[in-house]
Structure formats: C-alpha cells, structure tokens
Amino acid sequence: MADKEDSSSAWTNRSFQIYIGGSIVSLHGLWIYRVALGWYAWELTQSEFWVGVVTFTQFAPVVLFGPLFGVLADRFDRQAASVFINSLSVMNNLLLALLTALGNMDIYVLSLFALMQGTLDGAHMPVRLALVPNIVSKAQLQSAIATNSIAFNVSRFIGPAIAGFVIAWKGVAAAFALNAVSYVALLIAVLSIELRPSEQGAHQRSNVWQEMKDGFSYVLQHKAIRALLAITAVSACFGRGPLEMLPAFADAVFQRGASGLATLTAAVGAGAIVGGVMLARGPTWLRIRIVGVLLVIGGLLNMLLAEVTAFAAGIAVVTLLGFVLSLVGVGSQILLQSTVADQIRGRVSGIWGIMAFGGTAFGGLGVGIAASIWGLGQAVLVTGFLCALFAALAGVRLRSFREAAADQE
C-alpha cells in the first residue's frame, strides 16, 4: 500500500481519509436523528418515562444480540456487511420520515421504528469498530480511534444545531429524511476504501454458539479487557444515562424547548471534541487506573447537573461532562482495540457494545422511570452518586487496576 507505514497519523492513510469523510456526513445525520427522535418523543407525550423508553429501544438490541452481532462481524466480510446494513438503515429512515410527514405516528409506532434502527445500529456497531483496525496500521490505530471520536463529537456539536434549525423550519419528518440521505455518503465511502490484509478469516470456524462462547472466554481470561469493559459499563449506565434526559432538562428545567436541547447536546459534543483532540495527540498518561479516576469525576459532575437551574450553568456542566466522559469512553476503546486480537475483534466489540450501548439504554430507562416517580433532579443526583461510588470502589482495588495496566503496558 502507498500509505506511510512509519507515520502514526491516520491522516496519511488514503482509505482512512475516504472512510472518515463518509463517516462525518453519516454522523451528522445520526445526531440530527437522535435529537429529532428525543424531541418528538417528548412532544408526543410530555413524559420523561417515554423519552427513556425511546432511548432504551434504540440500544436494547445491542444488549440482547451484541454477542451474536460480534460473531457475524468475525464470520462475514466486514466491508460487505457494512454496505448491506447501512442500505437497510436508509430504507428504515425514509419510511419513518414518510409516516411522520403524513401524520401517521404515535409514541408506540415511533418506539417501533427506534427499535428497528437500534437493531441495525447494533448489527453495524461491531462491524464499524472492527473496520478501522483493518483500514490503518497498528501504529496509526490510536490516531484513527481518536479521530473517529473527534468526528463523532464534531457532529454532536454541529448536528444538533442543524436539527434544531430543521425541526423549527420543516419539522421532525425532514430531520428523519436527512438522516436517511446521510447514510448514502457512508455507503459510497465504504465501497471506495481498501482494507489491509486481515487475520479475520485465519481462525477455524465452529458453530455460532461456540464462537460466542469463545468470545466470552477470551474476555474472562484477559485482565485488562475485563477492567476496560467494567469501566465502560459504569460510564455508560451511570455516567451517560443522565445525558439521555437532556430533552427534559431543556424544556422542563431550563424552559428553552428544542433550541435549548440542541444547545445542550452541542455543548456535550464541544467538551468531547477537546477530549478527543487530547487523545489523538497520543498521550503517555493513558492508563486504565487514570480512566477510572476520570469516571469518578464524571459522577460528581452529574450530581452537580442535578442541582443546576440556570441555563448557562447547565451548559458549563454538560460541557465538562462531555470532556470527561470522552476521555473515559474513547480512552477505554483505544486501550481495548490496541489489546484485542483481530480474529476475535468482532466478538469483543460485540461484548463492548453490550456494556456501552446497553448501559446507556438501561441508564436512560432507569433515569426516566425514576424521574417520573421522584422528579428529574433527584433521579440524576442518585445516578451521579452511583457512578462516582462504583468508580471509587473499583479504584479502591488499585491492585487489580495495576495488574490490568501492567498487562496493557
């Protein structure tokens, strides 16, 4: 290949340039979709519970089928699988946009579409995570993962602003249609890239259930991966869970409506961009135990968010949350992808998806249910406390973190 193998920057890799370009367009569509979906659920019901349900339906398929999706990512051509899954996503979002425009939508149908898209996203997640290490060299991997994070969070910053404008101008149906169109750019990019030689097919295949079992066995036998997955689970459930209630914060706490939601979501993205840039520079401080300390800080920030009533203060807190949780999430993923063997990468990524997306699903649902019973502020306060507590308890076991870090290093 013509790429500069001695460079640690993924930007010297032409296939990565093409892939990240398509991903940036698609990610903007994703955030337009997420903001529109959360706002539409709130608009239809005025209920924190239903906002939590819609969040749950987006991510629940990863919890139920993550290991199976991971096996499929290891068994089938990842490039072809990405094209197939994203083509289905185009059709699902176009149908959602059409039914919304025609007024044939209620919270139950909306939840069904969210579930279908969640299934497609869940199937694509291990494929997407496994594709990047197949595009770049090992020396470029940290730069590529951090760049992916920057792209994700740039879209989190810009996408909600676009969503707020589109919803106000043309309604949520137009926002759903934009998401469908954005997948086309990703399809073109995936069809255009050249993958590096991979060990994906080097292992001897057995039946699907045995390969799922092999994936779990690999994780259980690897101290560093176990520690990273535990951090991911706590961060997703108790760290990011409260952020799924931003529609309720924007309207019920700050009285800012859809434009307030776009601003808060963009603020989270802005903080995360800074974290991604820090990680893209290849910091020498990235260790499992440091990621655990950052997670404690994330829990404390959620507790602070529960007490905030001024919009400007809310923006400041969620910006810091975006920064800290980005360091936790992306840092964990860099350490994980740098450790795992390629022939089992899809299965480990599927298990990671259970922790990351499943944790967010249950966290969002749990906060939504608790908020409908005890109030939003109380629910977020308790969730932040649990995040800090579980991360601190893990930190007490410094020996385990050091052993895991030693394996990593």
pLDDT tens column, 235-251: 988 988 888 888 888 88
Question: Does residue 9 sit in helix, strand or coil?
Answer: coil
What percentage of the chain reaches a pLDDT higher than 70?
Answer: 90
Q: Is 209 domain-assigned?
A: no
Q: What is the pLDDT of residues 321-347, one digit of tens each?
A: 999 998 998 888 888 877 787 778 778
pLDDT higher than threshold 80 for residue 407? no
**149 phi and psi, to 5 degrees?**
-65, -40
pLDDT higher than threshold 60 for residue 35? yes
Task: Tell me the Ramachandran region of residue 171: left when phi exceeds 0, alpha when psi lies from -120 to 50, beta otherwise.
Answer: left
Q: What is the torsion angle, in degrees rounded to the nearest 10, for the CA atoms of residue 169, residue 170, residue 173 and residue 177?
A: -90
Q: In the predicted model, what is the mean pLDDT of residues 253-267? A: 85
Q: Taking the model in full, what pTM does it have? A: 0.70
Q: What is the pLDDT of residues 121-153, one digit of tens each?
A: 888 888 887 788 888 887 787 778 878 777 877
Q: Which domain holds residue 181?
A: 10-192+214-408
Of the candidates 7, 55, 54, the residue with the CA atom closest to the CA atom of residue 360: 55
Q: Is 121 domain-assigned?
A: yes
Yes or no: say if 46 and 316 are a contact pair by the CB < 8 Å rule: no
Q: What is the pLDDT of residues 269-328, one digit of tens each?
A: 888 888 888 887 766 777 888 888 899 999 999 999 999 989 999 999 999 999 999 899
Residue linked to tokens 């924007």: 250
Q: Is 401 domain-assigned?
A: yes
Q: Is 57 domain-assigned?
A: yes
Yes or no: say if 179 and 30 are a contact pair by the CB < 8 Å rule: yes
CATH of the domain at 146: 1.20.1250.20
Contact residues for 292 (Cβ-Cβ < 8 A; gap 6+): 231, 391, 394, 395, 401
Q: Which two tokens stand for residue 323?
A: 């920064």
Q: How crowded is residue 100: how many other Cβ atoms within 10 Å of its Cβ?
A: 22
Q: Is 236 domain-assigned?
A: yes
Task: Tell me the Ramachandran region of residue 161: left when phi exceeds 0, alpha when psi lies from -120 to 50, beta otherwise.
Answer: alpha
Total count of domains within the chain:
1
What's the whole-number average pLDDT of the chain?
A: 83
Q: What is the pLDDT of residues 336-393, one digit of tens each?
A: 877 787 778 778 877 887 888 778 778 888 888 898 889 988 999 999 999 999 888 7
Q: Is 103 domain-assigned?
A: yes
Q: Is 204 domain-assigned?
A: no
Amino acid symbol at 190: V
Yes or no: say if 41 and 54 are a contact pair by the CB < 8 Å rule: yes
Q: What is the pLDDT of residues 171-188, one digit of tens each?
A: 899 999 999 999 999 999
Q: Residue 221: how many CA atoms within 13 Å on its side-chain side?
A: 7
Of the candidates 335, 25, 18, 33, the residue with the CA atom closest to the CA atom of residue 173: 33
Contact residues for 259 (Cβ-Cβ < 8 A; gap 6+): 164, 168
Contact residues for 106 (Cβ-Cβ < 8 A; gap 6+): 44
Contact residues for 51 (Cβ-Cβ < 8 A; gap 6+): 38, 41, 42, 45, 244, 245, 247, 248, 364, 368
Least confident range of 223-227, 254-258, 280-284: 280-284
Q: Is 164 domain-assigned?
A: yes
